[in-house]
Structure 1
Amino acid sequence: MFGLFKKKTEAEKLQELYKKTLEKAHKLSHTNRTEADKLMAEAEEIAKKIEKIQ
């Protein structure tokens, strides 16, 4: 109950975005490899931002 109004930190938001981007890339890898590669590159950039924060 007390965590209901807790705001997410920037790192938590980036972790969630990273996870969603990887999932999209995995789904696209079966049909459109070039788009999947672009999403993987985007996910790597997000990972670098997470590393800078931590």
Structure 2
Amino acid sequence: MFGLFKKKSEKQKLQEAYQKKMSEAHKVSHSNRTQADKLMAEAEEIAKKIDQLKV
């Protein structure tokens, strides 16, 4: 309850964006492979940003 108004860290925001891109890519991969590849590339860029935050 007390965490209700807690702001998300940059890492948490990036992780959520990564999960969203990956799920979108999975859904689209059944009908449009090129779009799915584009979404996967965007997700990989987000993953690189997450790795940079760890260092």
- TM-score, reference length from structure 1: 0.98
Mapped to 2, the partners of 1:30 and 1:4 lie a distance apart of 37
Mapped to 1, the partners of 2:4 and 2:35 lie a distance apart of 36
Mapped to 1, the partners of 2:5 and 2:43 lie a distance apart of 28
State the aligned residue count: 54
**Higher helix proportion (structure 1 or 2):** 2
* Overall identity of the aligned pairs, in %: 70
- TM-score, reference length from structure 2: 0.96
- 1:27 maps to what in 2? 27
In the TM superposition, structure 1's runs of 4+ consecutive aligned residues that sit over 2 Å from their partners are none
**1:45 Cα deviation from its structure 2 partner:** 0.2
**Which blocks of at least 5 consecutive residues in structure 2 are unaligned?**
none
